[in-house]
Amino acid sequence: MKAYLFIKGFLFDNIMEYQLTHSEENYLKEIFHLSGVDAFRVSTNNLAARLNSKASSITDMLQKLAEKELVSYVKYKGCNLTDKGEGIAVQIIRKHRLWETFLVMKLNFGWEEVHDIAEQLEHIDSTKLIDSLDHFLDYPKFDPHGDPIPDKDGKITYRKAKIKLSETVVNSLVEIVSVNEDSASLLTYLEKNNLVLGICIRIIEKYEFDKSMRIALENGNELNLSKKVIENIGVKFISKT
């Protein structure tokens, strides 16, 4: 069952002993994100788009990662993380989210400023560092965007019954529990409109013609939110009138 690996003239009996490059780590992380909870197969073009890279570069790297038994790769059929690969991906995500939490909680960064810096910090290699940071932050469960932080052992506790705001029905009352962190400008927009974690909103009306939505905040303020916005907010159902 043990896998042996011959790299650069050295024999490794455990992949963990071999340090991955930033690039390799980014591939694993992105495959994890694209696979979703059901571990879909990820296509070459998909990965290329997300990594701002070309399909041919992806193919090259997938072959290398398959060689190292971090992904299962079938020509023309896309790829999947192996258990090893997934384990590594989750640890990188743990580091990313803990660093984002540190930046917001301790250094007073805005939630729209932390992702790019965390993209660098997630590659720092020290288990003791990340576990100490986790302790220092008092073992946070979610990052500044509401995403769950994997624990030391890689266990991720997903939010139960989280749906997109765009999927809610008129008259329901919901609480914002996460936001998509991809765009800093969206995060700034959300904060300006007080659409932050923990806020409750009521869906007043949904418009079919452009898939937008009218909502009310707790203070009675009403807002129109575009399709793009409501697809990037995660909510928890509270009640319905």
Partner DNA sequence: ATTAATTTTTAGTCTTGTCTAAAAATATGT
Partner DNA sequence: ACATATTTTTAGACAAGACTAAAAATTAAT
Instruction: Build a one-symbol-per-residue string for 67-96: x at contacts with DNA by CB under 7 A, - elsewhere.
Output: ------x-xxxx------------------
Q: Determine which helix (DSSP H) or strand (DSSP E) holds 28, and give its type and residue range.
A: helix 22-35
The C-alpha atoms of residue 141 and residue 218 are separated, in whole angstroms, by 26
Q: Determine which helix (DSSP H) or strand (DSSP E) holds 224, and give its type and residue range.
A: strand 222-225
Site residues for a copy of itself, window 127-166 (CB under 8 A)? Answer: 128-129, 132-133, 136
The sign one gets for the Cα dihedral 94, 92, 154, 132 is negative
Classify burial at 41, counting beta carbons within 10 Å of its beta carbon; exposed 0-12, middle 13-18, buried 19 or more. middle
What's the closest the beta carbon of residue 123 comes to DNA, in angstroms? 11
- Residue of 57, 183, 188, 193 that binds DNA (CB under 7 A): 57
What's the closest the beta carbon of residue 56 comes to a copy of itself, in angstroms? 20
What's the closest the beta carbon of residue 121 comes to a copy of itself, in angstroms? 6
Site residues for DNA, window 2-21 (CB under 7 A)? Answer: 7-8, 21
109 secondary structure, DSSP code? -
Q: What are phi and psi of 13, to 5 degrees?
A: -100, 0
- Does 50 participate in binding Mn ion (rule CB under 5 A)? no
User: Of Mn ion, a copy of itself, DNA, none, which one sits near residue 192, judging by CB under 5 to 8 A according to partner kind?
Assistant: none
Binding stretches for Mn ion (CB under 5 A): 100, 115, 143, 145, 147, 181
